[in-house]
Structure 1
Amino acid sequence: MDEPASGWIIGGARILTGLLWLANLHWKVPPAFGEDSGGGLYKYSESVTRNSPLAPFTWVTEELILPNFRFFGWVTLVVELLLAMLLLVGYRTRIVALVGAAWSVPILLSVIYYDRADEWSWSYFMMIGLHLVLFATDAGRHLGIDGVLARNGDAARRSLAIVGSVAIAVGVLGLIVARSVSFAGSEAALLGSDAGFANPDGDIVRRWELKFLFFNPLWALLTILFGALLVIGARSARTVAVALAGATGFGVLAIVVFVTQTFDYLRDDGQVQVISTASNAALWGALALAGVLLARRSSTVAVPASEG
């Protein structure tokens, strides 16, 4: 396989892994994380006390995790948000990949013994293996920030324009799906899939969930605006300040929605589901990080080699 093709595959696998973490943030809902209802993240941790055959893991769960579950929930949310954010843009990828592999182990041990679960246990072994492949291939050097930072300012400006264009495209899609919700506020529409299979009574019995992001028109327009600033700022070293303004906007947006903690997801069937804001915070945080790093790199001017 030639290097350009392999680079696209490796970089694509890293982005796909980032999306995997991002798509599983919405159901980790703070501040209780399911402890008050017996659902969400709590149900998987609690099931370890009944079903896990590994005594040390059971002891850790019973004595450390469950008595301090809300703290554990916040740690889980922040770690997985950072995994999604950093893998999407490919920054410090080798370290992040090792963290992702290690973090996947307790997930495997918690989920495969959950009551009534129909999980395919091999998927979690593959998840661990995928992170190890990202580590071994230094996947951030392919379509990622790690690779761009090792090159010159022109490459950084091109990458900055691409990041801004992706943000604009996501914002436009968000604006399209957000037509059914109010302009601003806690209501949000899904950018992704929530399709399912219905039984003879019309009830959804199994959903095919790809819940990536949630938008109202205001958040979509801000995503388009800040993305446009990244594109404008990528034009030359003199316009870097514009790109930094866009990156700052994404950073503020990420912090605001993360502090908000929850959205009211308005589903197609008219029901409202309370979901975590972390998936949006991860994306906007990734765009902020990429914007800052690429803008700073693009402002550097190559020094011509001296003659003789």
Structure 2
Amino acid sequence: MINLFDSHTTRLDTTLYKVCVVAGRLLLAYLFFTQLFWKLPPDFGCGEDFAFPIPAEQNHWDANGSGGLCYWMGLESIFASKPRQVLVTDMRPAGLPKIGLNITPLAELNAAFLDNVVIPQIRITGWLIWLAEFSIFLSMLTGAFTRFGAIVSLGVSLQLYIGLANIPRPFEWEWSYGTIIALSLVMLGTAAGRTLGVDAWLRRKLAAPAERGNRLAKIGLLLT
């Protein structure tokens, strides 16, 4: 077992750890809080017509009166088949090559799922997307079931990364989404709700039932 705090750990070390974990958790909560309002139910910012952008020869796409969630989903679909790299490092100024990872196949799979499942049922799937992000906000804000919240956050941010990272119009910087992925991983690994969060209390309540073999309690411990 890895021990984060050894015999040389000072009070400053533990304080810094707690402050950084809680700050990261609250920042992730606020990030998702800011994203709740441009896609509010029941129309998710799409408007009454639920219009989506359409492909166009000039400038890649035409807005087609779209907005909110429909706008961004449409862009994911339109740019899916266009060659796109992520994790790009341009080393040419140093006489070295430009490197990156081609994610076009993943983007096409993502678009197929959107086009065949999510977009046709946007009045339902829009609710699922909004509630998923709202649950991340609540989880990180209160420190309740933070590992579950981190898993949901990781799924949401990975999907956005595949669908939107480095698209050319509007340019979506890949690390806007990559940073959310990284922060979600930190929240998952540190079980951030155990520090000044509801999870610390939940784990005390779940410990005894889990030891007696209660499956729900064991699952609860895994997610906190």
TM-score under structure 1 normalisation?
0.46
Change (3 A) 1:113 1:71: farther
- Distance across 2 between alignment mates of 1:38 and 1:113: 21
Aligned position for 1:23 = 34
Q: Secondary structure at the match of 2:39?
A: coil
Match of 1:44 among 45, 69, 72: 72
How many equivalent pairs are there? 152
Shift of the 67–151 alpha-carbon distance from structure 1 to 2, 3 Å rule, reads: closer
Where does residue 135 of structure 1 map in the other structure?
188
Contact 1:51 1:114 (C-alpha < 8 Å) held by counterparts: yes
Give the match for residue 118 of structure 1.
171
Letter in 1 for 2:36: L
* Aligned alpha-carbon RMSD (Å): 2.0
Distance 2:18 2:150 in 1: 17
- Corresponding position of 2:100: none
1:100 & 1:147 partners in 2: Cα distance?
21
**Distance in 2 separating the partners of 1:142 and 1:44:** 35
Superposed CA offset, 1:231-283 (max 9, x none): xxxxxxxxxxxxxxxxxxxxxxxxxxxxxxxxxxxxxxxxxxxxxxxxxxxxx
User: CA-to-partner distance for each residue in 1:133-189, whole Å, 9 max, x for gaps?
Assistant: 11111110112111244579xxxxxxxxxxxxxxxxxxxxxxxxxxxxxxxxxxxxx
Q: 1:115 to 1:40 in 2, by over 3 A?
A: farther
User: Partners in 2 of 1:103 and 1:116 — Cα distance?
Assistant: 21
Q: Relative to structure 1, is the Cα distance of residues 51 and 113 closer, same or farther in structure 2, using a 3 angstrom cutoff?
A: farther
Instruction: Structure 1 unaligned segments of length 5 or more: list them.
Output: 153-308
Structure 1 counterpart SS, 2:126: helix
Tell me the amino acid that sits aligned with residue 200 of structure 2: G
Identity in percent: 29
Q: In 1, distance between residues paired with 2:157 and 2:147?
A: 15
Maintained 8 Å contact 1:27/1:40:
yes
Q: Which residue of 1 aligns with 2:198?
A: 145
Instruction: Show structure 1 runs of 4+ deviating over 6 A.
Output: none
